[in-house]
Amino acid sequence: MHSFLLPVLSFTLSIAVSAIADPTLSPWQLHEQRSHIPAGWTRARKLHPSALVPLRFALAQSNIEHIEALLNDVSHPSSPNYGNHWSASQIAAEFAPSTESIETVRSWLIESGVEPHRVKLSPTKGWLEVASTVEEAENLLLAEYHVYDHETGTKHIACDSYHLPEHVVPHVDFVTPTIHFDARIEKRNSQSRVPIGQPGQGGSSPKTTGQIDGILDQIEDCDKQITPICLRALYGLWYQPVSGNSNSYGIVEYTPQAYVQSDLDIFAKNFSTGLEGVSPTLVSIDGGVVQTTEIAFDYNGESNLDLEYAMTLVTKGQNITLYQVGDVVQGASFNTFLDALDGTYCTFDGGDDPDQDPVYPDTASGGYSGNEDCGTVKPANVISTSYGYNEADLSAAYAIRQCNEYAKLGLMGVTFLFSSGDLGVAGNGGYCLNADGSQSADGTIFNPGFPATCPYVTAVGATQVSPGKSVWEPESACEQVIYSGGGFSNYFSMPDYQKAAVEGYLAANPISYSKDIYNSTGTSRAYPDLSANGANYVVAIDGTFSLVYGTSAASPVVGSILTMVNDARIALGKPPLGFINPTIYSAGFAAGFKDITNGTNPGCGTLGFNATKGWDPVTGLGTPYFPSLLAKWLVL
């Protein structure tokens, strides 16, 4: 059975849902199960019963089942609490694991024969840890552990499934090591998907057709080359910030991706005023460094693209914060960044999984020797990220826990933007899903991306000025070099804010594909939420100009627009936008977007979905038009 034919998992509830059929095991429930061994791995051998396994139990968070309602309360334009964002202390008080959860799991472990001194509450207070043998772990979890070998030489301990007593289930999000596999493999090959923080990560990295002979910086040439003037014309972004010192805009990059200052200067000389010699404000997280050892498109293309356009569109009147995440040895994960923004995440919630996320201090030669950044970084009002995984790269429990953290930061007034992916309904690297849940280049099942499918972020797709068309004519879905990522999640249920729009699309546009190649339930999170141009960008890279394509380009453009809306709101004494999805999907905001009705997002041997009137799973609500959105947001 395909995973998406199961009931869609709630993103606020424990993943454990099905009871064991064997009556002798009736006190336990299946908590997590893996249907296949991930690509590149092979099962090597059974672990000896006396081998050590450091069990870690991720404790459930209090009140997490109410997080969507709480976020809507401060984000929906009809709410009397719109814009009344929470403080970090309120977040901590509301969602910290309860004493009941800690004691329930502790008591079960002790009653199962674990000596009390071996049950330790982690310094983060989000985990209970047990130094266990394989035999003990297998008895506790009704699991069977093996050693797995990766083709790069990496070894890993995992099981296919595990169980918990039914009274413990509500108090545990997930247990490690169990079904999870390392998401930070450092060597790329034809079968492994490289995570954020490594070059060439597949469908989320920008694409290029190479260097160009000359720049066409005329508005009539925007179908051939996109420059800042094209974007200003397309989206009406003619605005000079007045509240730059009180406003903030963050761009996230993952080491070894790094910008080159001389490239920023070349771009500024051609397209900007007053930005030559100007650098973004660097915020280093867990040893993040703007490395200069590796110079090539794969290392500099993403950062240069993001910063050149973001800095130019918000002008010299608004500083850009560069969050550079992870050292040159381990790179980083999204959790590494989230820990630095929200002290409650690493102090209480325990979102990190040491089987998937980097651990600091990094004892490797050249690694970051400092302690992990925990709540040390102030989040910007708007944060744009052009990186992503496939949903299937991660377990549902891991993705759900991280998604809830984006909701908490939304409660605190942060707008999170993520590019939706560049391979249509296929995932990074062109991988699609197989019937057993595995991923391969010849798979036939649509493969949604994460965090774009998290209902608490804003997913940004890509459009284009079609050949022979002008900026004054409607754009189409991007079908040059890349295709806008979009579709329906296999992990997350549909949030209330988009139900009317998505149900309207499904009613007006019956989908002819077989129900076994996409999540056809009509009750799952749909994406993207909106779009912006993602084709033919002129970008200075390594001393020359190249044409670049990607939702990687679209996300920082949308971030720039929203940052300028925040500027105007702040000037009037209003709070920043925070989580925008409930607002942009609400009645009356349709006029703030230019509807995109042409194009598709092919992948997995299909044409994907169609762009059509209203919301669609190719371009979302359409492209933002700054004057209209500004007028609407200024009255909220």
Of 158, 176, 194, the last residue of a domain is 176
Are 345 and 317 in contact by the 8 Å Cβ rule? The answer is no
pLDDT band (50, 70, 90) for residue 25: very low
Which position among 386, 489, 552, 560 bears the catalytic label?
A: 552
510 shares a domain with 407: yes
pLDDT band (50, 70, 90) for residue 21: very low
353 shares a domain with 266: yes
Residue 171's pLDDT is 94
Q: What is the CA radius of gyration of the chain?
A: 24
Which tens digits make up the pLDDT trace of 251-309? Answer: 999 999 999 999 999 999 999 999 999 999 999 999 999 999 998 999 999 999 999 99
- CATH code of the domain in which 598 resides: 3.40.50.200
Which position among 94, 173, 263, 306 bears the catalytic label?
A: 306
Of 136, 154, 176, the last residue of a domain is 176
Which sign does the torsion angle of CA 406, 500, 77, 563 carry? positive
- Does 94 participate in catalysis according to the annotation? no
- Whole-angstrom distance between the N-terminal and C-terminal Cα of the chain? 47
Report the distance separating Cα 299 and Cα 291, nearest Å.
9
- Does 333 participate in catalysis according to the annotation? no
Residue 154's pLDDT is 76
Residue 226's pLDDT is 98
Whether 73 is covered by a domain: the verdict is no
107 shares a domain with 244: no
Which tens digits make up the pLDDT trace of 383-393? Answer: 999 999 999 98
245 shares a domain with 161: no
| 32 Cβ contact list (under 8 Å, min separation 6) | 15, 16, 161, 162, 174, 175, 178, 179, 395, 396, 397
Peptide bond into 361 cis (omega under 30): yes
| 613 Cβ contact list (under 8 Å, min separation 6) | 508, 595, 597
Domain count along the chain: 2
pLDDT at 504 over 50: yes
Of 155, 176, 197, the last residue of a domain is 176
Report the distance separating Cα 558 and Cα 546, nearest Å.
22
261 shares a domain with 166: no
Residue scoring higher pLDDT (5 or 53) = 53
220 shares a domain with 151: no
The overall average pLDDT reported for the chain is 89
Structure tokens at 158: 């995992």
588 shares a domain with 472: yes
257 shares a domain with 127: no
Are 534 and 462 in contact by the 8 Å Cβ rule? The answer is yes
Whether 195 is covered by a domain: the verdict is no
Which tens digits make up the pLDDT trace of 468-491? Answer: 999 999 999 999 999 999 999 999
Q: What is the strand order of the sheet 145-150 is part of? A: 41-46, 145-150, 155-159
> What's the domain range around 528?
207-634
Whether 85 is covered by a domain: the verdict is no
What H or E segment, with its residue span, contains residue 630? helix 626-634
364 shares a domain with 316: yes
Whether 424 is covered by a domain: the verdict is yes
Which tens digits make up the pLDDT trace of 528-581? Answer: 999 999 999 999 999 999 999 999 999 999 999 999 999 999 999 999 999 999
Lowest pLDDT segment from 72-86, 352-366, 464-478, 596-610: 352-366
155 shares a domain with 244: no
| 127 Cβ contact list (under 8 Å, min separation 6) | 56, 57, 58, 59, 121, 350
- Does 306 participate in catalysis according to the annotation? yes
Which position among 221, 302, 308, 355 bears the catalytic label?
A: 302
Whether 464 is covered by a domain: the verdict is yes
542 shares a domain with 396: yes
Whether 486 is covered by a domain: the verdict is yes
Which tens digits make up the pLDDT trace of 352-366? Answer: 666 677 888 888 888
Whether 193 is covered by a domain: the verdict is no
Which tens digits make up the pLDDT trace of 432-443? Answer: 999 999 999 999
Report the distance separating Cα 267 and Cα 416, nearest Å.
26
- The number of beta carbons lying within 10 Å of the beta carbon of residue 139 is 14
Report the distance separating Cα 353 and Cα 524, nearest Å.
26
Which tens digits make up the pLDDT trace of 138-183? Answer: 999 999 999 998 887 778 889 999 999 999 999 999 998 899 875 4
Whether 81 is covered by a domain: the verdict is no
317 shares a domain with 364: yes
